[in-house]
């Protein structure tokens, strides 16, 4: 995600008049990353902003998922895209083998097909986040964390969820190459 600040103070909106106006000129303040955790049946989500999107950041998020978000869970299903950092190897690169194994014993990774990020429900949440919260210039990771936290709290209070209508039959039809027809013999 791009971090962008204003070079000039925006002109405020007027009641019954023009909306707030921004200058076309801006300062690039760098980039950052958002990791998303989503429990669609509970209408719960959590977003974690990081300065980078490295294997180490991913591994630390998996540790956070296991130790902080779901410390009592024995089996956590994680749906991921095919980003090169989203691998069990990332945990072994970051942690001692015993710690990596401890985390991996509690999570099970499921990867969406290539070009199938639309199958990942958290991607739908990122789309809502982009439209409702990130559709303006955000100058720093600290401001991003505040904005995302407020958005997350509101969405969790509403218990907003995804109205998933993609069935197993749809999957077999649209993704036939990934779902072979079972034989009875």
In this structure, the number of other CB atoms found within 10 A of the CB of residue 71 comes to 9
First to last CA, the chain: 51
Whether 44 is covered by a domain: the verdict is yes
Does pLDDT of 63 surpass 80?
yes
Whether 96 is covered by a domain: the verdict is yes
Q: Rounded mean pLDDT of 106-113? A: 90
Whether 128 is covered by a domain: the verdict is yes
**Beta bridge pairs of residue 80:** 111
In this structure, the number of other CB atoms found within 10 A of the CB of residue 18 comes to 9
pLDDT attached to residue 30 = 79
**Residue 144 parent element (H or E):** helix 141-158
Whether 31 is covered by a domain: the verdict is yes
Q: Rounded mean pLDDT of 93-121? A: 88
pLDDT attached to residue 9 = 76
Q: Mean pLDDT highest for which of 49-58, 120-129, 175-184?
A: 49-58
pLDDT digits (tens, 9 = 90+) for 119-176: 778 888 888 898 998 888 888 889 999 999 999 999 999 998 887 777 778 777 777 7
Whether 177 is covered by a domain: the verdict is no
CATH number at residue 130: 3.30.420.10
Whether 111 is covered by a domain: the verdict is yes
Whether 174 is covered by a domain: the verdict is no
Q: Rounded mean pLDDT of 73-86? A: 90
Q: What range does the domain containing 82 cover?
A: 27-157
**Residue 163 parent element (H or E):** none
Does pLDDT of 107 surpass 80?
yes
pLDDT attached to residue 1 = 76
pTM of the full structure:
0.77
**Beta bridge pairs of residue 50:** 33
Long-range (24+ apart) CB contacts under 8 A made by 51-57 are 51/141, 53/83, 53/85, 54/85, 55/85, 55/87, 55/89, 55/90, 55/93, 55/94, 56/90, 56/93, 56/94, 57/33, 57/85
d(CA 125, CA 133): 11
Token code pair at residue 141 = 């990771």
pLDDT attached to residue 100 = 97
pLDDT attached to residue 185 = 60
Q: Are the CB atoms for 147 and 134 separated by under 8 Å?
A: yes
d(CA 40, CA 31): 28
| pLDDT bucket at 55, cuts 50 / 70 / 90 | very high
Of 152 and 20, the one with more pLDDT: 152
Does pLDDT of 105 surpass 90?
yes
Residue 11 per-residue DSSP state: B
Number of domains in the chain: 1
Question: Smallest Cα–Cα separation from 168: which of 160, 157, 158, 176?
Answer: 176
Does pLDDT of 179 surpass 70?
no
Whether 5 is covered by a domain: the verdict is no
pLDDT attached to residue 178 = 67
């Amino acid at each position: 995600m791009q971090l962008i600040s204003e070079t000039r103070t925006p002109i405020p909106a007027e009641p019954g008049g023009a909306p707030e106006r921004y200058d076309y000129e801006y300062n690039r303040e760098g980039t950052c990353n958002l990791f998303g955790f989503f429990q669609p049946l509970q209408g719960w989500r959590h977003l974690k902003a990081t300065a980078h999107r490295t294997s180490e950041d991913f591994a630390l998020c998996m540790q956070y998922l296991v130790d902080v978000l779901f410390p009592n869970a024995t089996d956590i299903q994680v749906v991921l895209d095919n980003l090169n950092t989203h691998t069990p190897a990332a945990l072994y690169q970051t942690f001692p083998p015993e710690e990596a194994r401890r985390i991996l014993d509690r999570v099970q990774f499921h990867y969406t097909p290539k070009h199938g990020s639309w199958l990942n429900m958290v991607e739908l949440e990122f789309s809502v986040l982009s439209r409702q919260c990130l559709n303006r210039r955000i100058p720093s990771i600290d401001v991003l964390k505040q904005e995302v936290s407020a958005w997350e709290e509101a969405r969790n209070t509403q218990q907003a969820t995804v109205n998933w209508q993609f069935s197993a039959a749809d999957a077999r039809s649209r993704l036939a190459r990934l779902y072979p027809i079972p034989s009875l013999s």
